[in-house]
Chains A and B, each alone.
Chain A
Amino acid sequence: MENEQHRINKDTPILNSQFSTVNSESSIIKVENLTKSFGNFIAVDAISFEVSKGEIFGFLGANGAGKTTAMRMLCGLSKPTSGRGMVAGFDIEKQSEQVKKNIGYMSQKFALYDDLKVWENLRLFGGIYGMKSHEIEDKTNIILHDLGFENERNTMVKSLPLGWKQKLAFSVSIFHEPKIVFLDEPTGGVDPAARRQFWELIYEAAENGITVFVTTHYMDEAEYCDRVSIMVDGKIAALDTPKNLKAKFNAASMDEVFQQIARKAIRIDN
C-alpha cells in the first residue's frame, strides 16, 4: 500500500491503465468493487460500474439502499473501506482533494446562500472554484442572461421562488465547467413546469460534454437519463437504459421497474 502511495502523485490524474478493467478512455467514473462498511454493517457492497463522458446517469435506489454513502465516496467526501474509484481522472481515495476541485455538486438541502444576493453567490462560488475575477464577471453576465435573471442580479436568493433557485444553483454548480456534476435530488418539491425547465438545463450541459450524475425519486425523471442504476441493499440490482430495463422487467414505466426491483429489498431502511 505504501508503495502505491509514493507512486501516485497527488496532483497528477491517474492513468486509466491502473484500473484492471478499463474499456474506454472516455470514462468519467470508474468504480471497482467499491465497498463501505460501518462496523459490521456493509452500506455499499462491492459495486462496480462506469460512466462515460457526456452521459446523463441516473443513480436510483430506495432509502437505506446505500446511494448517499456511495455518492459521498464518489465526491471525495468519504474514504472507501475497500475497492477503488476514479472520478474525473482522479483516485477517490488518494486524490480526494483533486476530485473535489474537478466536480460540481448540488443538493436539495444545500445549494446557495439564502442571505446573499444572486451575483454575490456567483462571486463566492467562483472564488471557491479558483476562477479569476474577470472570468467570474463574464460568466456571471452570461448565466444571468441565459436564465433570464438579469433583473434578479441584486435579489436575495431567499426571495427567489424555489424553481428559480434550483436553476441558479445548477448553473452555479457548473460555473467552473467541471467534467462531471453530481446532483442529489435536485428537483424535490419543485413545481412540474420548473422541474422540466431544470431538466432542459441538464440536457444542455450534457450536450456541452458535462457528465451528469443525478439521483431522484421522480421516476419520470429516470426516463430522461441515458442509463439508470438501481441500488438495493448496498448492491447494484440493475443497470441499463430505461428502455432496456422496461423491456427486461416487462414494465410500462420506470416506476413499475423500480417497484419490482426495490420491493425485493430485505433491508427496509436501516
Chain B
Amino acid sequence: MKDISFEVERGEIFGLIGPDGAGKTTLFRIMTTLLLADSGKALVDGLDVVRDYKEIRKRVGYMPGRFSLYQDLTVEENLSFFATVFGTTIEENYHLIKDIYQQIEPFKKRRAGKLSGGMKQKLALSCALIHKPTVLFLDEPTTGVDPVSRKEFWEMLKRLKQQGITILVSTPYMDEASLCDRIAFIQEGKILTIDPPEKIIADFPHKVFAVEADNNYEILKQLRQSENVRSVFSFGDSLHVVFKDISKMENEQINAQLKEIKPTIEDCFMALTDN
C-alpha cells in the first residue's frame, strides 16, 4: 500500500472496490489495529489506531474475509462468546442483530462448521454487531456468495446504516459499488479515485456503446483490430465499446446495432485501470 489518504463520514456506507491483491485486506487490518503501518496515521472513531488500539477494538465490528468463528461451537455459543468477550449479553443488543440472526436462529444449536456459506456469513455479521459497534469493517463479505444472498446481505447493510452505524465494506463485485454512498477504487495498493458512484459515472469522459448480437465473440475480435476502438469488452449478453472518434463509428461495419448506454461502474473501473 502506498500513500493512502481518505476520510469516511459517520453513518456512511463506504465501499472499497478492487480486485484481489489490491490491498483491501491490508488496509482493513491496519484500521482494525491488527497490523501496523510502516508510516502514516489512521484514526477510527476519533482514536489513533496505534496509541488507542484497545479502545478501538471495543468499538469496531470486524468481519474478515474468511470465516473466522469457532467451527466447533454452535451458532448460539459463538454469539454468546463474543457478547461475553465484549462485556455485554445477547439480550442487550438483540434488536440490532434481530433481522439477521432470526434467519439462523432455527439452527442455533448447530455447530458453526456445519453451516453453509450464506449462514456462516449471517452468523459472522451477528457476532460483529453484538457489542453495538460504531464502525463496522466488512472484508469481502459477499465473495463466493450467490446473487440472491448477496442482495439480501446488502439490504441488511442498508438497515444497519439506518441505525447509525458507519460501514466500510470491500468487494470485488462492481455492481455492489452502486449500493454505497461513496466508493474508492483501489488497485495495486493505490487509491485511484474516491467519489459517490453516480459522480464517477457522470464524470466518465467517454460515450459507451452497447452491441448485442448472436455472435458477440466474432464481433469482439473484429473490433479489437480496429484503429478507431479505444476499448471493447464483454458485458454479459452485450459488448461495451468506446470509440476514439464517434463520427467514424459506422465505418466498423458490424452486423449489429450500436446503442449508446450510460456507463456502468465496471466500465469506469476498467477504463481507470487500463494497462
Chain A residues within 8 Å of B, Cβ to Cβ:
61-64, 108, 161-163, 185, 188-194, 196, 199, 203, 217, 219-224, 242-243, 253-255, 258-259, 262-263, 265, 268-270
Contact = CB atoms under 8 A, between A and B. Distances in A.
A217 B149 CA distance: 11
B110 to A, nearest CB: 10
B225 interface: no
Contacts of A265: 148
A203 B219 CA distance: 14
Contacts of A188: 143-144, 172
Nearest to B188: A161
Nearest to B140: A189
A154 B182 CA distance: 41
A220 B117 contact: no
B273 interface: yes
A193 B146 contact: no
B122 to A, nearest CB: 9
A258 B234 contact: no
Given A220-B236, A223-B236, A254-B236, A63 B145 contact: yes
Nearest to B266: A192
Interface of B: 18-22, 103, 115-119, 140, 143-151, 172, 174, 187, 217, 233-237, 266, 269-270, 273-274
- Give me the 4 closest cross-chain CB pairs, A-B, nearest first: A191-B19, A220-B236, A223-B236, A189-B20
B192 to A, nearest CB: 12
A262 B144 contact: no
Contact of B147 (A161, A185, A191, A255): A255
Contact of A219 (B20, B147, B172, B174): B147
A162 B21 contact: yes
Contacts of A223: 236-237
B267 to A, nearest CB: 9
Nearest to A60: B146
Contacts of B115: 269
Q: Which of B149, B187, B269, B274 has the most CB of A within 10 A?
A: B149
25 contacts: A61-B146, A62-B146, A62-B148, A62-B149, A63-B146, A108-B144, A162-B19, A162-B20, A163-B19, A188-B143, A189-B19, A189-B20, A189-B140, A191-B22, A191-B172, A192-B19, A193-B274, A194-B19, A220-B235, A222-B236, A254-B237, A259-B147, A259-B151, A263-B148, A268-B118
Contact of B172 (A61, A63, A189, A255): A189
Contact of A64 (B118, B143, B187): B118
Contact of B270 (A108, A193, A203): A193
B118 A269 contact: yes
A196 B19 contact: no
B140 A262 contact: no
Contacts of A255: 147
A210 to B, nearest CB: 16
Nearest to B274: A193
B234 A196 contact: yes
A157 B150 CA distance: 31
A63 B20 contact: no
A68 B174 CA distance: 25
Nearest to A259: B148
Given A192-B266, A194-B19, A258 B148 contact: yes
A63 B117 contact: yes
Contacts of A219: 147, 236
A242 B238 CA distance: 12
Contacts of B116: 63-64, 269-270
Nearest to A108: B144
Q: Which of A161, A193, A203, A258 has the most CB of B within 10 A?
A: A193
Nearest to B115: A269
Nearest to A207: B217
B144 A269 contact: no
Contacts of B148: 62, 258-259, 262-263, 265
